[in-house]
């Protein structure tokens, strides 16, 4: 089964999409499977990370922004603004897909794990995440 989730983002940062994915898995009615998520964009990524303490999310966002700053004079791909090339680099260094086992029609995430769409651009918008259940 394949479905596409449309995920609204309010700008740069980690956006928890765990509930959206869990609802898609539940609606599919599969007992046992592998859920593979794939983001259809070159300036955003996917991540499984702690969902309990918001400081973990803030630290990850701060760390990646320090590692890959905007307005670097060496960037040549700047047509869409100062966050464009850094967004592509961030996406290249992180993941465009993640896989999570499914059992009893539920994602087998750990107690403190959540699924995040990591938006690397400042502007709000919508991203597409493909959900594939199979295996």
Whole-angstrom Cα distance, residue 86 to residue 93? 11
Given this model, what pLDDT does residue 77 score?
Answer: 95
Mean pLDDT of the region 106-131:
97
The two beta strands, 44-50 and 113-119, are antiparallel
- Residue 67's alpha-carbon distances to 10, 48, 86, 107, in angstroms, are 22, 20, 10, 32
Total residue count of the chain as it appears in this document: 135
pTM: 0.95
The answer to whether residues 30 and 101 touch, using CB atoms and an 8 Å cutoff, is no
Averaged pLDDT, 27-56: 96
How far apart are alpha carbons 26 and 38 in whole angstroms?
A: 18
For 70-115, write each residue's pLDDT tens digit: 999 999 999 999 999 999 999 999 999 999 999 999 999 999 999 9
- Structural domains of the chain sorted by starting position, each given as residue range(s) with its CATH number in brackets: 2-134 (2.60.120.460)
Burial of 117 (0-12, 13-18, 19+ CB in 10 A): buried
DSSP run (H or E) holding 67: helix 54-67
50-77 pLDDT tens trace = 999 999 999 999 999 999 999 999 999 9
**CA dihedral for 14, 32, 133, 95, sign (positive or negative):** positive
Q: What is the dihedral of CA 44, 45, 50, 53, to 10 degrees?
A: -10
What number is the average pLDDT over the span 23-47?
A: 96
């Amino acid at each position: 089964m394949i479905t596409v989730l449309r995920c609204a983002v309010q700008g740069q940062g980690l956006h928890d999409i765990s509930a959206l994915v869990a609802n898609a898995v539940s609606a599919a009615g599969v007992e046992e499977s592998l859920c593979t998520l794939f983001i259809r964009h070159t300036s955003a990524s996917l991540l499984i990370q702690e969902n309990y303490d918001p400081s973990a999310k803030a630290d990850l966002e701060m760390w990646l922004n320090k590692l890959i700053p905007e307005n670097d004079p060496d960037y040549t791909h700047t047509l869409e603004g100062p966050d464009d090339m850094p967004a592509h680099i961030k996406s290249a260094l992180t993941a465009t897909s993640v896989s999570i086992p499914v059992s009893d029609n539920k994602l087998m995430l750990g107690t403190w794990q959540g699924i995040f769409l990591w938006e690397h651009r400042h502007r709000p918008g919508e991203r597409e995440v493909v959900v594939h259940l199979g295996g």
